[in-house]
Amino acid sequence: MKRRQLIQVCSLTAVALAAPLALAQSAPFKIGLVLPMTGQQASTGRQIEAAARLYMAQNGDTVAGRKIELIVKDDTSLPDVTKRLAQELIVNDKVDVLAGMGITPSAMATAPLATQSKTPLVVMAAATSSITNASPYIVRSSFTLPQVSVAMGDWAPKNGIKSVVTLVSDYGPGNDAEKYFSERFALNGGKVIEKLRVPLRNPDFAPFLQKVRDAKPDALFVFVPSGAGAAVMKQFVERGMDKAGIKLIATGDVTDDDQLNDMGDGALGVVTTHHYSADHNSALNKKFVDAFQKANKGMRPNFMGVGGYDGMRIIYEALKSTKGKGGGDALLAGMKGQVFESPRGEVLIDAQTRDIVQDVYLRKVEKKNGQLYNVEFDVIKAVKDPGKEK
């Protein structure tokens, strides 16, 4: 072969080899976002979708040469539907990543599908400790109930609270909150008088609160999922619990930023522990809150919104780490060990547990410029999920 011919053959081969790669790179990268857009957890879906879209508006919809396609599906807050939609997204849409998961049963129902199909599943809301054990393809951008409940078990006895009744929604995260708060509170010399559990679906808090009144603890410790806090607060005040000398303490799910401002002055002074407040004092958070409100008719972002925003960050950076190639295992590797500044503060995706390590704050409901906020007054730095330490 003459030299010129050889060069021609070589360059043709190079073009032939590069063509499928170029095609694959230009194919869209699909994120299947399964959320409760309707039903009992609708506020979670609304927050996470808004945050995901904000992240894309701010960071572009092309990453490492791949166009990002966000496919949002409404699971109506029912885990059987979450599972069916996830299956369809994997088989029919051939999504590269699954994300969302408004409640623990949805994440648990989807976990085996992520494992079988080697599809990374970014859990942006659900917060039972054991979720990340349910599949090696799960990465979490939200939080865990043990992570935030232990902090209250330390704070309460140091602040004059010696006896408590616990009241939690009767499923994974509620059971975690009850266990980890109670254990730590007892370790610090506190007494848990009674442990009450309310159903997740359509709870009526009235009979439970009557029991609490009769038991006369120093405080009532509450966990209910995002969206249910306002009902608890209303009943607590209506039944005159605060006037009877019973304090309300809770995880920040109860004084949810999505509802807090409408809860009224009865919420003033309530102390909670959580990983995110819209009032968090950082330049990045102020920018995030402003942009979120501007894009969503003034809606204030809550901890679910932040879980969605950071979850998108985790996916974008993982795709970049594969130079646009993707692939379940490569993406997962790119998600593990990410360290970054979130609107909530510094976070790490623990490479071993695939769970989020983050600061946990003590906060008190206060009025600022006429609006109710969870104002942070103390912080426990870099908290790992205590549920993984046993």
Could you list the residues that contact ligand DHB (CB under 6 A)? 44, 103-104, 125-128, 172-173, 225-226, 253
Q: Which is nearer to ligand DHB, 140 or 280 (CB)?
A: 140
Element (H, E) at 230: helix 229-238
- Min dist. Cβ of residue 158 to ligand DHB (A): 25
Q: Which is nearer to ligand DHB, 193 or 357 (CB)?
A: 357
Q: Which is nearer to ligand DHB, 173 or 324 (CB)?
A: 173
Amino acid at 320: K
Comparing CA positions, the residue from 324, 303, 333, 357 lying closest to residue 140 is 357
How far apart, in whole angstroms, are the C-alpha atoms of residue 111 and residue 136? Answer: 9
Comparing CA positions, the residue from 12, 146, 69 lying closest to residue 319 is 69
- Min dist. Cβ of residue 217 to ligand DHB (A): 23
- Min dist. Cβ of residue 203 to ligand DHB (A): 13
- Min dist. Cβ of residue 112 to ligand DHB (A): 18
- Min dist. Cβ of residue 206 to ligand DHB (A): 21
What single DSSP character describes residue 266?
A: G
- Give residue 69's Cα distance to chain centre: 22
Q: Which is nearer to ligand DHB, 44 or 255 (CB)?
A: 44
What is the full DSSP assignment across 178-234? HHHHHHHHHHTT-EEEEEEEE-SSS---HHHHHHHHHH--SEEEEE--TT-HHHHHH
Q: Which is nearer to ligand DHB, 125 or 383 (CB)?
A: 125
- Min dist. Cβ of residue 253 to ligand DHB (A): 4
Phi–psi pair at 347, nearest 5 degrees:
-135, 160
Give the residue at shortest CB distance from ligand DHB: 225
Comparing CA positions, the residue from 342, 389, 292 lying closest to residue 141 is 342
Q: Which is nearer to ligand DHB, 103 or 372 (CB)?
A: 103
